[in-house]
């Protein structure tokens, strides 16, 4: 005679076969509940704005809420660790940038997560150049003016970034090294707090995105944009030259965005997430918003290409880190 517990298990299995509600079939129904999108930066910056725009579009595609949750600090490690510890069911995703997979393992002795073991890169879908902002109270009006100003205030020029192991820090650290400016670094939890510090005179220079809030400060004459990275001028800053135009190709810097999940998420669910993002970033309204409002270029790159990009990017960044003289850090 079959024990009571085994009988119940058999009945449950039969019910699953009849209804199609088996573990193997679960990915086909994804998502069946709201999805959390963890953003490593504070509200108000370009990364947060892009995350919220993508979340709205994914909510439409999936007909499920995609809830943005800001977890700023520790150069994306707080957010990355939260996702790494989450259940590997596809309902907690990380809005990852270059720090998550490339910079953090190169710059920190000990991380609270292992980017190669605890997380899986799902898709890379966005790239953005940086604009070089200065406080308008300084006499600086051009990039050459800034170099002269920083040399006159050597060791007393403060620059802001989105964290110690962030592209904004590495880019300005590299700039400081190239021109022997000895600038002082002050990290922040995102563009919003860093821009407030720039407006208040706490810092004199900042790499950031040209987004609606910063455009307002530009129009009010509170900050100036001296130069932008990237291959061409930005649509929302057509009068601002690029580093390449000024003959400084080696100063080009920016960041990319992707989605990651806890390691162990079903590959079928990973593919569904990547396909939904591909559909979202093909939307003409989202493309226009990203380009004209956030200075972000959208595309769709599958997991394999994302992994290749991470590997190639690490090699390039390692060279820049070594040249900038940035040693290993402890969080």
pLDDT at 3 over 50: no
Residue at 18 is within a domain: no
Query: Looking up tokens 């706490």, which residue turns up?
Result: 202
pLDDT band at residue 273, thresholds of 50, 70 and 90? very high
Question: Where among 235, 251, 267 does a domain terminate?
Answer: 251
For residues 81 and 140, membership in a common domain is answered with: no
Report which DSSP code applies to 328. P
Asked if the model's pLDDT at residue 170 lies above 90, the reply is no
Average pLDDT over residues 240-254: 92
Percent of the chain with pLDDT over 70: 91
35 pLDDT band, cuts 50/70/90, is: very high
pLDDT at 323: 73
- Residue 167 in contact with residue 103, Cβ under 8 Å? yes
How far separated are the first and last CA of the chain, in Å rounded? 60
Question: How far from the centroid of its chain's Cα atoms is residue 331's Cα?
Answer: 19
Please enumerate in sequence order all residues whose Cβ is within 8 A of that of 329, keeping only pairs 6 or more positions apart, or say none. 107, 108, 109, 164, 165
How confident is the model over 29-36, as a mean pLDDT? 96
Pull the structure tokens for residue 297: 């270029």
150: left (phi over 0), alpha (psi -120 to 50) or beta: alpha
Mean pLDDT over 150-173 rounds to 88
pLDDT at site 329:
79
Domain region containing 306: 34-127+254-324
Q: Provide mean pLDDT across the span 249-261.
A: 91
Assess whether pLDDT exceeds 50 at residue 53: yes
**CATH code where residue 89 lies:** 3.40.190.150
- Which of 6-10, 90-94, 197-201, 276-280 has the lowest average pLDDT? 6-10
pLDDT score, position 248: 94
Task: Tell me: pLDDT of 25 over 80.
Answer: no
Taken in order 96, 265, 267, 273, the sign of the CA dihedral is: negative
| DSSP-assigned letter for residue 220 | T
The per-residue pLDDT for 209 is 83
Pairing of strands 158-161, 131-135: unpaired
- What own/partner pairs with CB < 8 Å and gap ≥ 24 does 29-34 have? 30/90, 30/268, 30/269, 30/272, 31/62, 31/64, 31/90, 31/91, 32/64, 33/64, 33/91, 34/64, 34/65, 34/66, 34/67, 34/91
Residue 165 — pLDDT band, cuts 50, 70, 90?
A: low
pLDDT-based confidence at 127, cuts 50/70/90? Answer: very high
Whether residue 141 is found in the same domain as residue 121: no
Let me know if residue 295 belongs to a domain.
yes
266 is written with which tokens?
A: 């079903």
Are residues 179 and 268 part of one domain? no
pLDDT band of 296, cuts 50, 70, 90: very high
**What is the DSSP secondary structure assignment for residue 208, as one 8-state letter?**
E
What's residue 91's pLDDT?
98
% of the chain residues with pLDDT over 90: 67
Task: Out of 190, 222, 251, pick the residue that ends a domain.
Answer: 251
Please compute the mean of the pLDDT values over residues 248-254 and round it to a whole number.
87
Q: What is the average per-residue pLDDT within 271-298?
A: 95
Domain count, the chain: 2
Residue 3 located in a structural domain: no
Of 197, 230, 251, the residue that ends a domain is: 251
As given in the structure block, the two tokens for residue 137 are: 């109270």
Identity of the highest mean pLDDT range in 5-14, 43-52, 167-176, 258-267: 258-267
The per-residue pLDDT for 229 is 92
Residue 21 resides in a domain: no
Residues 154, 298, single domain; the answer is no
Q: Determine, yes or no, domain membership for 264.
A: yes
| Confidence band of 4 (pLDDT split at 50, 70, 90) | very low
- Which H or E run contains 257? strand 254-262
- Give domain status of residue 10, yes or no: no
Domain of 237, CATH number, reads 3.40.190.10
User: Would you place residue 26 in the very low, low, confident or very high pLDDT band (cuts 50, 70, 90)?
Assistant: low
pLDDT value at residue 21: 38
Residue 315 belongs to a domain: yes
**Is residue 199 a part of any domain in this protein?**
yes
Task: Name the one residue in this structure whose structure tokens are 């800034």.
Answer: 146
Residues 263 and 114 in one domain: yes
| Together in a domain, 219 and 271 | no
Q: Distance between CA atoms of 150 and 156, rounded to whole angstroms?
A: 8
Q: List the single range of 14-18, 94-98, 146-150, 237-241 with lowest mean pLDDT.
A: 14-18
The mean per-residue pLDDT over the stretch 241-250 comes to 94
């Amino acid at each position: 005679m079959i024990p009571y517990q085994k009988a119940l298990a058999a009945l449950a299995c039969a019910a699953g076969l009849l209804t199609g509600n088996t573990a193997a079939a679960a990915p086909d129904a994804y998502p069946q509940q709201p999805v959390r999108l963890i953003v490593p930066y504070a509200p108000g910056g370009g990364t947060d704005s892009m995350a919220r725009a993508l979340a709205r579009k994914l909510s439409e595609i999936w007909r499920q809420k995609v809830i943005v949750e800001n977890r700023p600090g520790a150069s994306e490690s707080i957010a990355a660790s939260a996702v790494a510890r989450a259940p590997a069911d596809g309902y907690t995703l990380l809005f990852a940038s270059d720090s998550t997979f490339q910079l953090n393992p190169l710059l920190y002795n000990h991380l609270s997560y292992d980017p190669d073991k605890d997380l899986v890169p799902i898709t890379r879908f966005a790239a953005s150049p940086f604009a070089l902002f200065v406080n308008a109270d300084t006499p600086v009006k051009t990039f050459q003016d800034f170099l002269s100003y920083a040399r006159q205030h050597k060791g007393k020029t403060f620059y802001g970034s989105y964290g110690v192991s962030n592209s904004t820090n590495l880019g300005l650290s590299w700039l400081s090294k190239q021109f022997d400016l000895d600038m002082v670094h002050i990290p922040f939890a995102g563009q919003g707090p860093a821009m407030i510090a720039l407006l208040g005179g706490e810092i004199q220079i900042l790499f950031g995105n040209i987004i609606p809030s910063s455009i307002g400060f530009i129009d009010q004459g509170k900050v100036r944009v001296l130069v932008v990275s990237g291959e061409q001028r930005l649509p929302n800053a057509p009068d601002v030259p690029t580093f390449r135009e000024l003959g400084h190709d080696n100063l080009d810097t920016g960041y990319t965005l992707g989605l990651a999940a806890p390691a162990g998420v079903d590959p079928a669910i990973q593919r569904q997430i990547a396909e939904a993002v591909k559909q979202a970033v093909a939307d003409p309204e989202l493309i226009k918003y990203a380009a004209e409002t956030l200075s972000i270029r959208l595309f769709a790159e599958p997991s394999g290409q994302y992994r290749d990009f991470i590997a190639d990017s690490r090699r390039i960044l390692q060279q820049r880190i070594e040249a900038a003289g940035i040693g290993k850090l402890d969080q």
